[in-house]
Protein backbone atom coordinates (compact mmCIF):
# COMPACT_ATOMS: atom_id res chain seq x y z
CA UNK A 1 0.00 0.00 0.00
CA UNK A 2 1.32 3.46 -0.93
CA UNK A 3 1.15 6.18 1.71
CA UNK A 4 1.75 9.08 -0.67
CA UNK A 5 -1.64 10.53 0.20
CA UNK A 6 -0.65 11.09 3.84
CA UNK A 7 1.25 14.22 2.79
CA UNK A 8 -2.18 15.70 1.98
CA UNK A 9 -3.97 14.44 5.09
CA UNK A 10 -6.08 17.20 6.69
CA UNK A 11 -4.10 18.97 9.43
CA UNK A 12 -7.12 18.86 11.75
CA UNK A 13 -7.53 15.08 11.55
CA UNK A 14 -5.82 12.18 13.31
CA UNK A 15 -4.91 9.28 11.04
CA UNK A 16 -6.53 6.73 13.37
CA UNK A 17 -10.25 6.49 14.13
CA UNK A 18 -11.56 4.91 17.33
CA UNK A 19 -15.01 3.48 16.59
CA UNK A 20 -17.69 3.24 19.33
CA UNK A 21 -18.43 -0.39 20.25
CA UNK A 22 -22.20 0.01 20.42
CA UNK A 23 -25.19 -0.61 18.21
CA UNK A 24 -26.57 2.28 16.18
CA UNK A 25 -29.67 2.78 18.31
CA UNK A 26 -27.44 3.79 21.21
CA UNK A 27 -26.77 6.98 19.21
CA UNK A 28 -30.48 7.80 19.56
CA UNK A 29 -30.32 7.28 23.33
CA UNK A 30 -27.25 9.48 23.67
CA UNK A 31 -28.56 12.36 21.54
CA UNK A 32 -32.04 12.22 23.12
CA UNK A 33 -30.45 12.37 26.58
CA UNK A 34 -28.11 15.20 25.66
CA UNK A 35 -30.48 17.29 23.53
CA UNK A 36 -34.08 16.22 24.31
CA UNK A 37 -35.78 19.43 23.16
CA UNK A 38 -33.64 20.08 20.11
CA UNK A 39 -35.02 19.30 16.64
CA UNK A 40 -33.39 16.31 15.00
CA UNK A 41 -35.68 16.55 11.93
CA UNK A 42 -37.30 19.56 10.27
CA UNK A 43 -39.90 18.47 7.71
CA UNK A 44 -41.55 21.35 5.85
CA UNK A 45 -41.32 23.53 8.99
CA UNK A 46 -42.51 20.79 11.37
CA UNK A 47 -39.84 19.94 13.97
CA UNK A 48 -39.34 16.52 15.57
CA UNK A 49 -37.21 16.74 18.68
CA UNK A 50 -34.73 14.10 19.77
CA UNK A 51 -36.96 13.13 22.69
CA UNK A 52 -39.98 12.73 20.41
CA UNK A 53 -37.90 10.76 17.93
CA UNK A 54 -36.68 8.30 20.57
CA UNK A 55 -40.19 7.81 21.94
CA UNK A 56 -41.75 7.07 18.55
CA UNK A 57 -38.90 4.80 17.42
CA UNK A 58 -39.41 2.74 20.59
CA UNK A 59 -43.15 2.49 19.90
CA UNK A 60 -42.40 1.21 16.41
CA UNK A 61 -40.02 -1.36 17.88
CA UNK A 62 -42.64 -2.44 20.41
CA UNK A 63 -45.19 -2.99 17.66
CA UNK A 64 -42.71 -4.91 15.49
CA UNK A 65 -41.80 -7.18 18.40
CA UNK A 66 -45.21 -7.73 19.98
CA UNK A 67 -47.57 -7.69 16.99
CA UNK A 68 -45.39 -8.51 13.97
CA UNK A 69 -43.35 -11.03 16.01
CA UNK A 70 -40.08 -9.63 14.66
CA UNK A 71 -37.13 -11.26 16.42
CA UNK A 72 -33.46 -10.40 16.73
CA UNK A 73 -31.75 -10.67 13.35
CA UNK A 74 -34.99 -10.71 11.33
CA UNK A 75 -35.02 -8.57 8.20
CA UNK A 76 -37.63 -5.81 7.79
CA UNK A 77 -38.19 -4.04 4.46
CA UNK A 78 -38.25 -0.23 4.46
CA UNK A 79 -39.85 1.13 1.30
CA UNK A 80 -40.48 4.88 1.18
CA UNK A 81 -38.99 8.24 0.28
CA UNK A 82 -37.08 10.59 2.57
CA UNK A 83 -39.40 11.53 5.41
CA UNK A 84 -39.60 11.51 9.21
CA UNK A 85 -41.18 8.06 8.92
CA UNK A 86 -38.22 6.64 7.00
CA UNK A 87 -35.82 7.68 9.75
CA UNK A 88 -38.17 6.60 12.55
CA UNK A 89 -38.79 3.24 10.90
CA UNK A 90 -35.06 2.70 10.30
CA UNK A 91 -34.25 3.22 13.96
CA UNK A 92 -37.42 1.46 15.13
CA UNK A 93 -36.28 -1.64 13.26
CA UNK A 94 -32.85 -1.39 14.88
CA UNK A 95 -34.44 -0.94 18.32
CA UNK A 96 -36.25 -4.23 17.72
CA UNK A 97 -32.78 -5.79 17.27
CA UNK A 98 -33.70 -6.44 13.63
CA UNK A 99 -32.00 -5.66 10.31
CA UNK A 100 -33.06 -2.79 8.04
CA UNK A 101 -33.49 -3.64 4.35
CA UNK A 102 -33.82 -0.26 2.58
CA UNK A 103 -35.58 -0.54 -0.79
CA UNK A 104 -35.60 2.01 -3.60
CA UNK A 105 -39.16 3.47 -3.67
CA UNK A 106 -39.04 3.41 -7.47
CA UNK A 107 -39.04 -0.39 -7.48
CA UNK A 108 -42.22 -2.12 -8.58
CA UNK A 109 -43.92 -5.38 -7.53
CA UNK A 110 -41.82 -7.61 -9.80
CA UNK A 111 -38.65 -6.24 -8.22
CA UNK A 112 -40.01 -6.23 -4.67
CA UNK A 113 -40.88 -9.91 -4.92
CA UNK A 114 -37.17 -10.75 -4.97
CA UNK A 115 -36.50 -8.72 -1.82
CA UNK A 116 -39.25 -10.51 0.09
CA UNK A 117 -38.17 -13.95 -1.08
CA UNK A 118 -34.43 -13.42 -0.65
CA UNK A 119 -34.53 -11.80 2.80
CA UNK A 120 -37.31 -13.94 4.22
CA UNK A 121 -38.86 -10.75 5.57
CA UNK A 122 -42.36 -11.08 7.01
CA UNK A 123 -42.83 -7.35 7.73
CA UNK A 124 -42.49 -4.21 5.61
CA UNK A 125 -42.91 -0.52 6.37
CA UNK A 126 -44.12 1.39 3.31
CA UNK A 127 -45.51 4.75 2.22
CA UNK A 128 -49.17 4.88 1.23
CA UNK A 129 -48.46 6.19 -2.30
CA UNK A 130 -46.55 2.99 -3.15
CA UNK A 131 -48.49 0.58 -0.93
CA UNK A 132 -50.16 -0.92 -4.03
CA UNK A 133 -46.77 -2.14 -5.26
CA UNK A 134 -46.06 -4.03 -2.02
CA UNK A 135 -49.56 -5.23 -1.12
CA UNK A 136 -49.68 -8.22 -3.55
CA UNK A 137 -46.76 -9.70 -1.60
CA UNK A 138 -48.95 -10.19 1.49
CA UNK A 139 -49.85 -13.47 -0.18
CA UNK A 140 -46.21 -14.28 -0.98
CA UNK A 141 -44.34 -14.21 2.32
CA UNK A 142 -45.22 -10.92 3.97
CA UNK A 143 -47.49 -11.09 7.02
CA UNK A 144 -47.50 -7.40 7.97
CA UNK A 145 -47.35 -4.09 6.11
CA UNK A 146 -47.23 -0.87 8.15
CA UNK A 147 -48.43 2.03 5.98
CA UNK A 148 -47.29 5.61 6.51
CA UNK A 149 -48.82 8.86 5.21
CA UNK A 150 -46.23 11.60 4.85
CA UNK A 151 -48.86 14.24 5.66
CA UNK A 152 -49.12 12.89 9.23
CA UNK A 153 -45.94 14.86 9.96
CA UNK A 154 -47.14 18.16 8.50
CA UNK A 155 -48.17 19.44 11.91
CA UNK A 156 -47.20 23.11 11.46
CA UNK A 157 -48.22 25.52 8.68
CA UNK A 158 -45.68 25.94 5.89
CA UNK A 159 -45.29 28.14 2.85
CA UNK A 160 -42.83 25.69 1.26
CA UNK A 161 -44.06 24.01 -1.92
CA UNK A 162 -45.32 20.52 -1.08
CA UNK A 163 -45.20 17.61 -3.54
CA UNK A 164 -48.64 16.05 -4.02
CA UNK A 165 -47.60 12.72 -2.51
CA UNK A 166 -46.47 14.53 0.65
CA UNK A 167 -49.60 16.64 1.11
CA UNK A 168 -51.99 13.76 0.27
CA UNK A 169 -54.31 13.04 3.23
CA UNK A 170 -54.03 9.76 5.07
CA UNK A 171 -55.88 6.95 3.29
CA UNK A 172 -57.90 4.56 5.43
CA UNK A 173 -56.24 1.46 4.02
CA UNK A 174 -57.18 -1.82 5.64
CA UNK A 175 -57.03 -5.56 5.19
CA UNK A 176 -55.45 -8.60 6.78
CA UNK A 177 -51.93 -7.72 7.85
CA UNK A 178 -52.30 -4.01 6.99
CA UNK A 179 -51.83 -1.44 9.78
CA UNK A 180 -51.76 2.35 9.52
CA UNK A 181 -48.73 4.09 11.02
CA UNK A 182 -50.98 6.23 13.21
CA UNK A 183 -52.72 3.14 14.62
CA UNK A 184 -49.37 1.50 15.29
CA UNK A 185 -48.15 4.50 17.30
CA UNK A 186 -51.42 4.80 19.21
CA UNK A 187 -50.93 1.29 20.61
CA UNK A 188 -47.97 2.70 22.59
CA UNK A 189 -46.28 -0.71 22.81
CA UNK A 190 -42.77 -0.83 24.26
CA UNK A 191 -39.93 -3.13 23.15
CA UNK A 192 -37.92 -5.60 25.18
CA UNK A 193 -34.20 -5.15 25.92
CA UNK A 194 -31.79 -3.78 23.34
CA UNK A 195 -29.51 -6.76 22.79
CA UNK A 196 -27.95 -6.28 19.33
CA UNK A 197 -24.20 -5.85 19.63
CA UNK A 198 -21.59 -4.26 17.37
CA UNK A 199 -21.00 -7.48 15.43
CA UNK A 200 -24.68 -8.21 14.79
CA UNK A 201 -26.21 -7.34 11.41
CA UNK A 202 -27.57 -3.82 11.19
CA UNK A 203 -28.52 -2.90 7.63
CA UNK A 204 -28.60 -4.71 4.31
CA UNK A 205 -28.73 -2.47 1.23
CA UNK A 206 -29.09 -4.37 -2.04
CA UNK A 207 -26.84 -4.06 -5.04
CA UNK A 208 -26.41 -5.99 -8.27
CA UNK A 209 -23.56 -7.19 -10.38
CA UNK A 210 -23.18 -9.76 -13.09
CA UNK A 211 -26.21 -11.83 -12.08
CA UNK A 212 -29.82 -10.98 -12.74
CA UNK A 213 -30.97 -10.32 -9.18
CA UNK A 214 -29.83 -7.73 -6.61
CA UNK A 215 -27.70 -9.00 -3.73
CA UNK A 216 -27.93 -7.98 -0.07
CA UNK A 217 -24.77 -6.39 1.39
CA UNK A 218 -24.47 -7.52 5.01
CA UNK A 219 -23.30 -4.72 7.29
CA UNK A 220 -22.81 -4.94 11.04
CA UNK A 221 -23.41 -2.19 13.57
CA UNK A 222 -19.63 -1.88 13.98
CA UNK A 223 -18.92 -1.39 10.27
CA UNK A 224 -21.86 0.97 9.79
CA UNK A 225 -20.78 3.00 12.82
CA UNK A 226 -17.22 3.23 11.46
CA UNK A 227 -18.56 4.75 8.24
CA UNK A 228 -20.78 7.24 10.09
CA UNK A 229 -18.10 8.46 12.47
CA UNK A 230 -15.48 8.69 9.72
CA UNK A 231 -17.50 10.90 7.38
CA UNK A 232 -18.70 13.18 10.17
CA UNK A 233 -15.21 13.61 11.61
CA UNK A 234 -13.62 14.19 8.20
CA UNK A 235 -15.89 17.20 7.64
CA UNK A 236 -15.66 18.47 11.24
CA UNK A 237 -19.40 18.13 11.80
CA UNK A 238 -20.67 19.14 15.26
CA UNK A 239 -23.91 19.19 17.23
CA UNK A 240 -24.89 22.68 16.05
CA UNK A 241 -24.59 21.89 12.35
CA UNK A 242 -27.72 22.13 10.21
CA UNK A 243 -27.63 20.04 7.05
CA UNK A 244 -29.97 19.34 4.16
CA UNK A 245 -31.06 15.74 3.61
CA UNK A 246 -32.29 15.41 0.04
CA UNK A 247 -30.17 12.53 -1.28
CA UNK A 248 -32.26 9.36 -0.93
CA UNK A 249 -31.98 7.60 2.43
CA UNK A 250 -32.38 4.15 0.83
CA UNK A 251 -28.98 4.72 -0.78
CA UNK A 252 -25.89 4.49 1.41
CA UNK A 253 -24.62 8.03 0.69
CA UNK A 254 -27.76 9.75 1.96
CA UNK A 255 -28.36 7.12 4.65
CA UNK A 256 -24.97 7.62 6.28
CA UNK A 257 -24.03 11.20 5.49
CA UNK A 258 -27.43 12.92 5.67
CA UNK A 259 -29.39 10.76 8.12
CA UNK A 260 -27.34 8.67 10.57
CA UNK A 261 -24.25 10.88 10.73
CA UNK A 262 -26.03 13.99 12.01
CA UNK A 263 -27.97 11.85 14.53
CA UNK A 264 -24.66 10.58 15.94
CA UNK A 265 -23.62 14.17 16.71
CA UNK A 266 -27.05 15.42 17.77
CA UNK A 267 -27.32 17.94 14.95
CA UNK A 268 -30.35 18.93 12.86
CA UNK A 269 -31.39 17.73 9.40
CA UNK A 270 -33.84 19.43 7.04
CA UNK A 271 -35.52 16.53 5.25
CA UNK A 272 -36.83 16.78 1.68
CA UNK A 273 -38.26 13.76 -0.14
CA UNK A 274 -37.86 15.25 -3.60
CA UNK A 275 -35.37 17.59 -5.23
CA UNK A 276 -36.79 21.09 -5.84
CA UNK A 277 -34.19 23.78 -6.40
CA UNK A 278 -36.35 26.63 -5.11
CA UNK A 279 -37.39 24.79 -1.96
CA UNK A 280 -33.74 23.85 -1.39
CA UNK A 281 -32.59 27.48 -1.74
CA UNK A 282 -35.36 28.68 0.58
CA UNK A 283 -34.46 26.06 3.20
CA UNK A 284 -30.77 27.02 3.09
CA UNK A 285 -31.77 30.63 3.68
CA UNK A 286 -34.41 29.88 6.34
CA UNK A 287 -32.46 27.38 8.44
CA UNK A 288 -28.91 28.67 7.82
CA UNK A 289 -27.89 25.31 6.37
CA UNK A 290 -24.12 24.84 6.33
CA UNK A 291 -23.67 21.59 4.39
CA UNK A 292 -25.38 19.81 1.52
CA UNK A 293 -24.89 16.38 0.03
CA UNK A 294 -25.79 16.64 -3.66
CA UNK A 295 -25.04 14.72 -6.83
CA UNK A 296 -23.71 16.65 -9.80
CA UNK A 297 -27.07 16.91 -11.62
CA UNK A 298 -28.58 18.61 -8.53
CA UNK A 299 -25.74 21.14 -8.41
CA UNK A 300 -26.23 21.90 -12.12
CA UNK A 301 -29.96 22.51 -11.51
CA UNK A 302 -29.35 24.62 -8.38
CA UNK A 303 -26.95 26.91 -10.26
CA UNK A 304 -29.32 27.11 -13.26
CA UNK A 305 -32.02 28.74 -11.12
CA UNK A 306 -32.35 32.29 -12.52
CA UNK A 307 -33.46 33.49 -9.07
CA UNK A 308 -30.48 32.08 -7.15
CA UNK A 309 -29.04 35.55 -6.46
CA UNK A 310 -32.26 36.50 -4.61
CA UNK A 311 -31.55 34.00 -1.79
CA UNK A 312 -29.16 34.49 1.10
CA UNK A 313 -27.03 31.37 0.86
CA UNK A 314 -24.11 32.76 2.88
CA UNK A 315 -24.46 30.06 5.57
CA UNK A 316 -23.21 27.40 3.12
CA UNK A 317 -19.74 26.09 3.92
CA UNK A 318 -19.49 23.26 1.46
CA UNK A 319 -21.25 20.83 -0.85
CA UNK A 320 -20.13 17.25 -0.99
CA UNK A 321 -21.18 14.20 -2.92
CA UNK A 322 -20.28 11.44 -5.30
CA UNK A 323 -22.02 8.87 -7.46
CA UNK A 324 -21.11 10.64 -10.71
CA UNK A 325 -18.11 12.83 -11.51
CA UNK A 326 -18.66 16.57 -11.18
CA UNK A 327 -17.83 18.32 -14.48
CA UNK A 328 -14.97 20.77 -13.94
CA UNK A 329 -16.89 23.69 -15.41
CA UNK A 330 -19.77 23.13 -13.00
CA UNK A 331 -17.44 22.89 -9.99
CA UNK A 332 -15.86 26.19 -11.02
CA UNK A 333 -19.26 27.83 -11.47
CA UNK A 334 -20.25 26.64 -7.98
CA UNK A 335 -17.11 28.23 -6.56
CA UNK A 336 -17.72 31.45 -8.51
CA UNK A 337 -21.43 31.84 -7.64
CA UNK A 338 -21.66 30.44 -4.11
CA UNK A 339 -18.03 30.56 -3.05
CA UNK A 340 -17.98 26.95 -1.87
CA UNK A 341 -16.05 23.92 -3.12
CA UNK A 342 -17.58 20.63 -4.25
CA UNK A 343 -15.82 17.86 -2.37
CA UNK A 344 -16.14 14.44 -3.97
CA UNK A 345 -15.86 11.02 -2.39
CA UNK A 346 -16.10 7.37 -3.36
CA UNK A 347 -17.86 4.41 -1.85
CA UNK A 348 -20.27 1.60 -2.63
CA UNK A 349 -23.20 -0.25 -1.12
CA UNK A 350 -20.61 -2.89 -0.22
CA UNK A 351 -18.72 -0.32 1.89
CA UNK A 352 -21.84 1.41 3.38
CA UNK A 353 -20.63 4.78 1.96
CA UNK A 354 -17.21 6.35 1.64
CA UNK A 355 -13.79 4.73 1.64
CA UNK A 356 -12.22 7.73 -0.14
CA UNK A 357 -12.90 11.46 0.30
CA UNK A 358 -11.06 14.53 -0.92
CA UNK A 359 -9.39 16.59 1.82
CA UNK A 360 -11.73 19.58 2.26
CA UNK A 361 -8.84 22.04 2.16
CA UNK A 362 -7.07 20.38 -0.80
CA UNK A 363 -9.69 18.79 -3.05
CA UNK A 364 -8.96 17.83 -6.63
CA UNK A 365 -11.59 18.11 -9.33
CA UNK A 366 -13.19 15.00 -10.86
CA UNK A 367 -11.33 13.00 -8.25
CA UNK A 368 -12.44 10.23 -5.85
CA UNK A 369 -10.17 11.55 -3.11
CA UNK A 370 -7.75 9.74 -0.81
CA UNK A 371 -8.30 6.68 1.41
CA UNK A 372 -9.69 7.77 4.79
CA UNK A 373 -9.13 6.37 8.30
CA UNK A 374 -8.13 2.72 8.39
CA UNK A 375 -8.63 2.20 4.65
CA UNK A 376 -6.03 0.26 2.68
CA UNK A 377 -6.93 0.96 -0.96
CA UNK A 378 -4.85 -0.13 -3.92
CA UNK A 379 -5.02 -0.03 -7.70
CA UNK A 380 -4.08 -3.49 -8.95
CA UNK A 381 -3.83 -5.42 -12.17
CA UNK A 382 -7.21 -7.27 -12.38
CA UNK A 383 -5.57 -10.41 -13.75
CA UNK A 384 -2.85 -11.06 -11.16
CA UNK A 385 -3.65 -8.42 -8.48
CA UNK A 386 -0.17 -6.89 -8.29
CA UNK A 387 -0.19 -3.23 -7.25
CA UNK A 388 0.28 -0.73 -10.08
CA UNK A 389 2.35 2.44 -10.23
CA UNK A 390 0.83 5.94 -10.42
CA UNK A 391 -0.75 6.60 -13.80
CA UNK A 392 -1.41 2.93 -14.56
CA UNK A 393 -5.03 1.82 -14.87
CA UNK A 394 -6.28 -1.05 -12.74
CA UNK A 395 -9.02 -2.22 -10.37
CA UNK A 396 -9.59 -0.59 -6.98
CA UNK A 397 -9.45 -3.05 -4.09
CA UNK A 398 -10.19 -2.00 -0.50
CA UNK A 399 -9.67 -3.32 3.00
CA UNK A 400 -11.57 -1.14 5.46
CA UNK A 401 -13.53 -1.33 8.72
CA UNK A 402 -16.74 -0.53 6.83
CA UNK A 403 -16.49 -3.25 4.16
CA UNK A 404 -19.46 -5.64 4.23
CA UNK A 405 -19.30 -9.13 5.70
CA UNK A 406 -20.47 -10.58 2.40
CA UNK A 407 -23.59 -11.01 0.28
CA UNK A 408 -26.69 -12.34 2.01
CA UNK A 409 -27.53 -15.93 1.18
CA UNK A 410 -24.97 -15.96 -1.64
CA UNK A 411 -21.65 -17.60 -0.66
CA UNK A 412 -20.48 -17.90 -4.27
CA UNK A 413 -20.88 -14.17 -4.95
CA UNK A 414 -19.16 -13.44 -1.64
CA UNK A 415 -16.23 -15.66 -2.57
CA UNK A 416 -15.87 -13.90 -5.93
CA UNK A 417 -16.03 -10.44 -4.34
CA UNK A 418 -13.04 -10.87 -2.03
CA UNK A 419 -9.34 -11.65 -2.37
CA UNK A 420 -6.70 -12.19 0.30
CA UNK A 421 -3.36 -10.39 -0.01
CA UNK A 422 -0.74 -10.56 2.73
CA UNK A 423 -3.26 -11.94 5.20
CA UNK A 424 -5.72 -9.06 4.59
CA UNK A 425 -9.16 -9.46 3.04
CA UNK A 426 -9.78 -7.01 0.18
CA UNK A 427 -13.04 -6.22 -1.58
CA UNK A 428 -12.77 -6.22 -5.36
CA UNK A 429 -14.75 -3.13 -6.34
CA UNK A 430 -14.86 -3.79 -10.08
CA UNK A 431 -14.05 -0.11 -10.64
CA UNK A 432 -11.11 0.82 -12.84
CA UNK A 433 -9.05 3.76 -11.63
CA UNK A 434 -5.62 5.31 -11.52
CA UNK A 435 -3.68 7.19 -8.85
CA UNK A 436 -1.55 10.29 -9.28
CA UNK A 437 1.84 11.07 -7.74
CA UNK A 438 0.07 12.50 -4.65
CA UNK A 439 -1.88 9.30 -3.98
CA UNK A 440 -5.27 10.68 -5.05
CA UNK A 441 -7.59 8.21 -6.85
CA UNK A 442 -9.29 8.96 -10.19
CA UNK A 443 -12.07 6.87 -11.74
CA UNK A 444 -11.44 5.68 -15.29
CA UNK A 445 -14.10 3.09 -16.13
CA UNK A 446 -16.01 0.15 -14.71
CA UNK A 447 -14.89 -3.44 -14.84
CA UNK A 448 -18.50 -4.36 -14.11
CA UNK A 449 -21.29 -3.50 -16.50
CA UNK A 450 -22.91 -0.85 -14.34
CA UNK A 451 -24.59 2.10 -16.04
CA UNK A 452 -24.53 5.40 -14.14
CA UNK A 453 -27.65 7.40 -15.06
CA UNK A 454 -27.72 10.70 -13.14
CA UNK A 455 -26.06 8.99 -10.19
CA UNK A 456 -28.52 6.06 -10.20
CA UNK A 457 -26.74 2.75 -10.68
CA UNK A 458 -28.38 0.53 -13.28
CA UNK A 459 -27.28 -3.08 -13.54
CA UNK A 460 -27.80 -4.41 -17.10
CA UNK A 461 -28.26 -8.06 -16.07
CA UNK A 462 -31.15 -7.12 -13.79
CA UNK A 463 -32.88 -5.09 -16.53
CA UNK A 464 -32.35 -7.93 -18.99
CA UNK A 465 -33.94 -10.38 -16.55
CA UNK A 466 -37.03 -8.17 -16.34
CA UNK A 467 -37.19 -7.60 -20.10
CA UNK A 468 -37.26 -11.34 -20.73
CA UNK A 469 -40.72 -11.36 -19.15
CA UNK A 470 -42.04 -9.54 -22.24
CA UNK A 471 -43.64 -12.13 -24.57
CA UNK A 472 -42.19 -10.55 -27.73
CA UNK A 473 -38.56 -10.49 -26.60
CA UNK A 474 -36.35 -13.39 -27.61
CA UNK A 475 -33.04 -11.90 -26.50
CA UNK A 476 -31.97 -8.61 -24.95
CA UNK A 477 -28.71 -6.92 -24.13
CA UNK A 478 -28.50 -3.74 -22.07
CA UNK A 479 -25.69 -1.27 -22.69
CA UNK A 480 -24.92 2.35 -21.79
CA UNK A 481 -25.61 5.14 -24.26
CA UNK A 482 -24.38 8.70 -23.96
CA UNK A 483 -26.93 11.20 -22.73
CA UNK A 484 -26.33 14.96 -22.49
CA UNK A 485 -28.38 15.30 -19.29
CA UNK A 486 -28.03 11.97 -17.47
CA UNK A 487 -24.40 11.32 -18.45
CA UNK A 488 -25.36 7.79 -19.39
CA UNK A 489 -28.72 6.31 -20.20
CA UNK A 490 -30.04 2.79 -20.71
CA UNK A 491 -30.18 1.28 -24.19
CA UNK A 492 -31.76 -2.08 -25.01
CA UNK A 493 -30.55 -4.04 -28.01
CA UNK A 494 -33.33 -6.55 -28.69
CA UNK A 495 -34.01 -9.58 -30.85
CA UNK A 496 -37.77 -10.08 -31.23
CA UNK A 497 -39.44 -13.47 -31.48
CA UNK A 498 -40.35 -14.32 -35.08
CA UNK A 499 -44.15 -13.77 -34.80
CA UNK A 500 -43.64 -10.27 -33.36
CA UNK A 501 -41.09 -8.91 -35.82
CA UNK A 502 -42.35 -5.77 -37.53
CA UNK A 503 -45.39 -5.73 -35.23
CA UNK A 504 -43.90 -4.45 -31.95
CA UNK A 505 -42.46 -0.93 -31.81
CA UNK A 506 -39.65 0.49 -29.73
CA UNK A 507 -42.19 2.76 -28.07
CA UNK A 508 -44.25 -0.24 -26.97
CA UNK A 509 -41.19 -1.88 -25.40
CA UNK A 510 -40.34 1.32 -23.50
CA UNK A 511 -43.93 1.70 -22.29
CA UNK A 512 -43.97 -1.90 -21.08
CA UNK A 513 -40.66 -1.43 -19.30
CA UNK A 514 -41.94 1.71 -17.56
CA UNK A 515 -44.85 -0.29 -16.20
CA UNK A 516 -42.68 -3.14 -14.97
CA UNK A 517 -39.49 -1.64 -13.54
CA UNK A 518 -38.23 1.46 -11.78
CA UNK A 519 -38.15 4.51 -14.06
CA UNK A 520 -34.38 5.02 -13.81
CA UNK A 521 -33.77 1.45 -15.07
CA UNK A 522 -36.17 1.74 -18.00
CA UNK A 523 -34.47 1.68 -21.42
CA UNK A 524 -34.74 5.08 -23.08
CA UNK A 525 -33.38 3.77 -26.39
CA UNK A 526 -34.44 0.52 -28.07
CA UNK A 527 -32.67 -0.95 -31.07
CA UNK A 528 -34.01 -4.04 -32.84
CA UNK A 529 -31.45 -6.40 -34.39
CA UNK A 530 -31.65 -9.80 -36.09
CA UNK A 531 -29.04 -11.36 -33.78
CA UNK A 532 -26.78 -10.48 -30.85
CA UNK A 533 -23.03 -11.12 -31.06
CA UNK A 534 -21.92 -14.24 -29.19
CA UNK A 535 -18.70 -16.06 -28.43
CA UNK A 536 -17.93 -19.57 -29.65
CA UNK A 537 -19.36 -20.89 -26.38
CA UNK A 538 -22.59 -18.96 -26.91
CA UNK A 539 -21.83 -16.25 -24.35
CA UNK A 540 -23.31 -12.85 -25.15
CA UNK A 541 -20.60 -10.39 -26.20
CA UNK A 542 -21.98 -7.28 -24.52
CA UNK A 543 -18.62 -5.52 -24.71
CA UNK A 544 -18.76 -5.65 -28.49
CA UNK A 545 -22.16 -3.93 -28.48
CA UNK A 546 -20.88 -1.37 -25.98
CA UNK A 547 -17.89 -0.59 -28.19
CA UNK A 548 -20.14 -0.20 -31.24
CA UNK A 549 -22.30 2.21 -29.25
CA UNK A 550 -19.26 4.29 -28.34
CA UNK A 551 -18.32 4.48 -32.03
CA UNK A 552 -21.77 5.40 -33.36
CA UNK A 553 -23.18 7.23 -30.33
CA UNK A 554 -26.87 7.05 -31.28
CA UNK A 555 -28.48 9.24 -28.60
CA UNK A 556 -32.07 9.21 -29.85
CA UNK A 557 -34.04 8.47 -26.69
CA UNK A 558 -37.74 7.78 -26.45
- Are residues 526 and 494 both part of a single domain? yes
Residue 99 has pLDDT above 70, yes or no: yes
Query: Within a 10 A sphere around the Cβ of 287, how many other Cβ atoms?
Result: 18
Residue 519 belongs to some domain of the structure: yes
Residue 34 belongs to some domain of the structure: no
164 pLDDT tier (thresholds 50, 70, 90): very high
Residue range 313-337, pLDDT digits in tens: 999 998 998 766 677 778 888 989 9
- The per-residue pLDDT for 537 is 57
Mean pLDDT of 164-192: 97
536 pLDDT tier (thresholds 50, 70, 90): low
Host H or E run for residue 154: none
Residue 505 belongs to some domain of the structure: yes
User: 464 or 74: whose pLDDT is higher?
Assistant: 74
* 349-353, 400-404, 422-426, 487-491: the lowest-pLDDT one: 487-491
Last residue of a domain, one of 424, 446, 468: 446
* 221-235, 367-381, 442-456: the lowest-pLDDT one: 442-456
Residue 249 belongs to some domain of the structure: no
- Are residues 86 and 56 both part of a single domain? yes
- The per-residue pLDDT for 558 is 58
* 21-25, 158-162, 298-302, 398-402: the lowest-pLDDT one: 298-302
- The pTM of this model reads 0.88
Mean pLDDT of 405-424: 96
Residue 69 belongs to some domain of the structure: yes
509 pLDDT tier (thresholds 50, 70, 90): very high
- Are residues 539 and 440 both part of a single domain? no
- Are residues 406 and 470 both part of a single domain? no
Residue 470 belongs to some domain of the structure: yes
Residue range 213-253, pLDDT digits in tens: 899 999 999 999 999 999 999 999 999 999 999 999 999 99
CA 175 to CA 136: how far, in whole Å? 12
Query: Within a 10 A sphere around the Cβ of 468, how many other Cβ atoms?
Result: 13
Mean pLDDT of 406-422: 96
- The per-residue pLDDT for 311 is 97
- Are residues 388 and 515 both part of a single domain? no
User: 483 or 371: whose pLDDT is higher?
Assistant: 371
Residue 557 has pLDDT above 60, yes or no: no
- Are residues 71 and 190 both part of a single domain? yes
- The per-residue pLDDT for 378 is 97
Residue 515 belongs to some domain of the structure: yes
- Are residues 404 and 472 both part of a single domain? no
- Are residues 56 and 135 both part of a single domain? yes
Task: List CB contacts of 433: < 8 A, sequence separation 6 or more.
Answer: 368, 379, 393, 394, 395, 396, 441, 442, 443, 444
Query: At 525, which CATH number?
Result: 3.30.300.30
300 pLDDT tier (thresholds 50, 70, 90): confident
Residue 107 belongs to some domain of the structure: yes
Mean pLDDT of 73-85: 98
CA 526 to CA 321: how far, in whole Å? 32
- Range of the structural domain that residue 542 is part of: 451-552
Nearest to 55 by CA among 43, 37, 80, 75: 37
The DSSP output letter for 16 is -
* 266-275, 359-368, 547-556: the lowest-pLDDT one: 547-556
Mean pLDDT of 65-91: 98
Residue 1 has pLDDT above 90, yes or no: no
* 69-78, 148-157, 257-266, 364-373: the lowest-pLDDT one: 364-373
- Are residues 402 and 456 both part of a single domain? no
Mean pLDDT of the chain: 93
Mean pLDDT of 396-415: 97
Count of structural domains within the chain: 3
450 pLDDT tier (thresholds 50, 70, 90): confident
Per-residue 3-state assignment (H helix, E strand, C coil) for 427-483: EEEEEEEEECCCCCEEEEEECCCCEEECCEEECHHHHHHHHCCCCCEEEEEEEEEEE
Amino acid sequence: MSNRHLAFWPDSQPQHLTVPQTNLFYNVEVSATRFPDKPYILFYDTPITYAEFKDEAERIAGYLEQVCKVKKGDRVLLYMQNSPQFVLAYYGILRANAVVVPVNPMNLTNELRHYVKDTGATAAIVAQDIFAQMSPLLDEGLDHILVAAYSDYLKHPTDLKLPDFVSAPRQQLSGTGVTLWSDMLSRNLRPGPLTAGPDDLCVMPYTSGTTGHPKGCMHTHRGTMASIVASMQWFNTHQDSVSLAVLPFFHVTGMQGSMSGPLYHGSTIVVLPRWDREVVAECIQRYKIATLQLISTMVVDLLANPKIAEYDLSSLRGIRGGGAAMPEAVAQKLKDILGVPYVEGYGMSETIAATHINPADRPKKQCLGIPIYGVDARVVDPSDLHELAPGEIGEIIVNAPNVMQGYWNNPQATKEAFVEIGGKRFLRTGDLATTDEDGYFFMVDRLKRMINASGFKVWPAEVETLLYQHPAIQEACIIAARDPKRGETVKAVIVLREPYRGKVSAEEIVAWARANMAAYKTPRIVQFVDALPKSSTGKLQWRELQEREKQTGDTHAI
